[in-house]
Structure 1
């Protein structure tokens, strides 16, 4: 009997509560040049302006995993101060040549919460969505090479580490 493969998981979400206001968290996550402070893969970003980016702004992300480096071109799709920041990766490749395609989207949702023992903080929910249009069989092969397994499993670990690091940055 042939084993039936399930479709790849396209969305991964994780959350953490931080002892900072939604506006403080928003100021951090909406400035892509600050992402290396908490991201396990991002090594920098370039944007036309400093600070929080508005909807429609485009920025370039510089990334690295296991010695392999790549560049992404991203466009901000949501910029609601204190509530939500999101962007879509719309190109990937080297410094000069990039493949334009739907790659992924990233979102940070922020929710004010009461902290145990008093005070207020923010629940930060980060979501990654796989927007690649390649067939699942091709994605499985690519993912095995790029992340040594299903991309969603890799991103689940990535999100957990990213949120833990974000929590640490906001404590400082």
Structure 2
């Protein structure tokens, strides 16, 4: 069975696109919303995203922990933030390869911003049966597309709750 290579979901948040972008584009903060990511260490120490910026994402799924190396591929304040995951390892991301791309779009709508989160499977060279078998083992019975669909939904709900409950500037 061919695998799904991308999933996305959207939510409307009652906040300005620039305010949401400022939070999402700082990889160190992602652990506040993601069910799997624990945050990140930005290489070079800056928190303002720019194309080419690298960071190491710290992740957990049940008892498993791993680190990914990521590079920002889009950083348009208030509009779009994206990065590709290109290395992985237990403590340090030593195993290199095309893994995934994550993208966030921020579209102004009445009452706030529509935030769309998209995950793309970059393991194009993997045969579908091999990828599906690996995915089911790594996610306890799901494909990565199914698994990420749930993660995206939870991340967006958590982001909405955090942004809408934050004090607003007067």
Shorter-chain TM range is: over 0.9
- 2:118 corresponding residue in structure 1: 127
Structure 1 residue corresponding to 2:63, chosen from 57, 61, 67? 67
- 2:128 corresponding residue in structure 1: 136
Unaligned residue ranges in structure 2 (runs of 5+): 166-170
For 1:21-170, list aligned pairs within 5 A: 21-47=16-42, 48-96=44-92, 98-115=94-111, 121-132=112-123, 133-147=125-139, 148-170=141-163
C-alpha separation in 2, matches of 1:89 and 1:123: 24
* CA RMSD, Structure 1 to Structure 2 (Å): 1.0
Corresponding residue pairs, total: 162
- The TM-score normalised by the length of structure 1 is 0.91
What do the CA deviations read for 1:16-45 (whole angstroms, capped 9, x no partner)? Answer: 000110000110010000001100001120
- 2:12 corresponding residue in structure 1: 17
What do the CA deviations read for 1:109-167 (whole angstroms, capped 9, x no partner)? Answer: 0001102xxxxx10000000000121111111101111121111111111000100000
